[in-house]
Amino acid sequence: MRQFRAPRWLPGGHLQTIWPALYGRRVQGPHPIYQRERWTTPDGDFIDVDFCFSRQRGAPWLVLFHGLEGSSRSHYAEAFADVAQALGWNYAVPHFRGCSGELNLAPRAYHSGDYEEIGWMLARLRERAGQPLHAVGVSLGGNALLRWSEEAGETAGATARAVAAVCSPIDLAAGGHAIGRGFNRQVYTRMFLRSMKPKALAKWAQHPGLFDRERLAAARDLYEFDNLFTAPLHGFRNTDDYWRRASAKPWLEHIRVPALVLNARNDPFVPAASLPGVHEVGRYVTLWQPPHGGHVGFPAGRFPPGHVRAMPASVVDWLRTR
pLDDT in tens, 253-266: 999 999 999 999 99
Q: What tens digit of pLDDT does each residue of 128-187 get?
A: 999 999 999 999 999 999 999 999 999 999 999 999 999 999 999 999 999 999 999 999
Question: Strand pairing of 90-94 and 259-262?
Answer: unpaired
Considering the candidates 74, 267, 307, 314, report the single residue annotated as catalytic: 267
pLDDT attached to residue 304? 83
Q: Cα 293 vs. chain centroid, distance in angstroms?
A: 16
> Can you give the length of the chain in residues?
322
pTM: 0.97
Q: What is the percent of the chain with per-residue pLDDT over 90, rounded to a whole number?
A: 97
Whole-number Å distance between alpha carbons of 103 and 194: 16
Q: What tens digit of pLDDT does each residue of 227-281 get?
A: 999 999 999 999 999 999 999 999 999 999 999 999 999 999 999 999 999 999 9
Q: What CATH number was assigned to the domain covering residues 13-171+253-320?
A: 3.40.50.1820
Q: What tens digit of pLDDT does each residue of 197-220 get?
A: 999 999 999 999 999 999 999 999
Q: What integer best gives the mean pLDDT of the chain?
A: 97
pLDDT at 2 over 90: no
Backbone angles phi, psi at 165, to 5 degrees: -115, 125
Whole-number Å distance between alpha carbons of 297 and 92: 21
Least confident of 20-29, 59-68, 156-165: 20-29
The dihedral built from the CA positions of residue 290, 170, 321 and 37, taken in this order, carries a sign that is: negative
pLDDT attached to residue 1? 74
Active site residue 267: yes
Considering the candidates 54, 139, 149, 247, report the single residue annotated as catalytic: 139
Considering the candidates 95, 254, 295, 307, report the single residue annotated as catalytic: 295
* 286 pLDDT tier (thresholds 50, 70, 90): very high
Active site residue 114: no
Q: What is the percent of the chain with per-residue pLDDT over 70, rounded to a whole number?
A: 100
pLDDT attached to residue 15? 97
pLDDT attached to residue 263? 98
Whole-number Å distance between alpha carbons of 298 and 196: 26
Q: Closest Cα to residue 263, out of 245, 285, 289?
A: 289
What is the domain partition of the chain in residue ranges? 13-171+253-320, 179-246
pLDDT attached to residue 322? 93
Active site residue 292: no
